[in-house]
């Protein structure tokens, strides 16, 4: 959810319906405004750009498997770092 200062209601920015998150543990936003979420119980990192969600790391059948990522970070060059259990 995104909550503007002094807002009474928030806006859903990631998750919901087809891109449901299960125990999200962390969120970051890159310089392009893309939202990254550590989706812990689905063993993946999700990315949203312009309202469209996609698996960035992990997920079923992917080579870059992730195991319950509890956190993530970006460096100054836009490289993504994922904490993996």
Domains present along the chain, CATH in parentheses: 24-83 (2.40.10.500)
Consecutive 10-residue averages of pLDDT for the chain (85 residues): 89 70 89 91 88 82 72 92 84
Q: What is the pLDDT of residue 10?
A: 86
Q: What is the pLDDT of residue 34?
A: 92
Q: What is the pLDDT of residue 12?
A: 80
**Residue 35 DSSP code:** E
Burial of 2 (C-beta count, 10 Å sphere; 0-12/13-18/19+): exposed
> Alpha-carbon distance 51 to 34, whole Å?
9
Q: What is the pLDDT of residue 63?
A: 58
Q: What is the pLDDT of residue 23?
A: 87
């Amino acid at each position: 959810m995104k909550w503007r200062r002094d807002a009474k209601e928030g806006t859903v920015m990631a998750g919901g319906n087809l891109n449901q998150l299960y125990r999200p543990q962390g969120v970051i936003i890159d310089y392009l405004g893309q939202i990254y979420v550590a989706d812990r119980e689905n063993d993946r990192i999700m990315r949203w750009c312009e309202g469209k969600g996609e698996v960035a790391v992990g997920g079923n059948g992917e080579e870059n498997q992730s195991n319950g990522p509890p956190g993530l970070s970006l460096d100054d060059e836009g490289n993504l770092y994922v904490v993996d259990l």
